[in-house]
Chains A and B, each alone.
Chain A
Amino acid sequence: MRFIRYALPAARNFAPALGGFSRSAWSGLETEIDRLFETAVGGATAATRFPVDLYEDKANTFVRAELPGVKRADINVDLVDGVLNITAARKTPPAAEGQAEQTVTLSRSVRIADEVQADNVAATYENGVLTVTLPKRQEAKPKKFTVEVK
């Protein structure tokens, strides 16, 4: 199914924000909705996106990504400037003989809080789900001090 977007009258695009009746009260929302649709269903974006979950416990932050049908060797995880990038290549065997192998590149970036020990990041892949464990830095862990009352 294809989405056909309405072509807005050009006049509306140039109308001043607060002037006259030419600008619909909803126009801001319309653009916002259009933008959302574009990111959610727009062509290549939707096909190469995969769902991601974020968890944390006392010592770690966890990122879980659903990546079915990808070999471990084809998954790339890197952490650059507090952004975790997950890139994976899904190789589908040819449907019929004589056809080439199909490769789809999937990628997703997740912003992670800064307090991560970047050199201790670990990742496991099981049943088509990738789990990345990002240990928190010592100073980021909540410290508990018990004060003795005299």
Chain B
Amino acid sequence: MKMGNTADRKMTIVVFSGELDRALAAFNIATTAASMGTEVTMFFTFWGLNIVKKERGKVGEGNWMKRMLNIINRGGARRLKLSKMNMAGAGTAMMKYLMGKHRMPSLQEMLILAEEMGVKMIACTTTMALMGLSEKDFIPAVKEFAGAATYVGNALESQVNLFI
């Protein structure tokens, strides 16, 4: 391809995981794709919702099981742990230190960058109901709340679909 015919270039990423390393990989690909003229949609579901939850995720509503889910998954990109070598937080702290030392953007910075670059972020309403979350529990970058049909509709029009 010589000229970038970017009009119909689309990518979707299902962000299922809520770990720091997996989230970083998802946002790395999303921002890169956006810089290559791709319309990127990130669909956050299950533990992935923690990445885009406001830092002080609510605890109060729903039955005790939902409240417990929100106590364990307090949310906020800053709180995520590594999928491996977390070592009670020491491994994650070390990784963050090394990333900072190498001037790599933090996940919070990647989130801002992705939003600025027009990456669309959708939260899964089914998981939200399951976990007793509402629209106001999410950061403003999340502008759409939808279900699987929205995702599949989007995926069918895309050339690249990832599940992280």
Report if A and B associate in a common complex: no
Residues of chain A having any CB pair with chain B under 8 Å: none
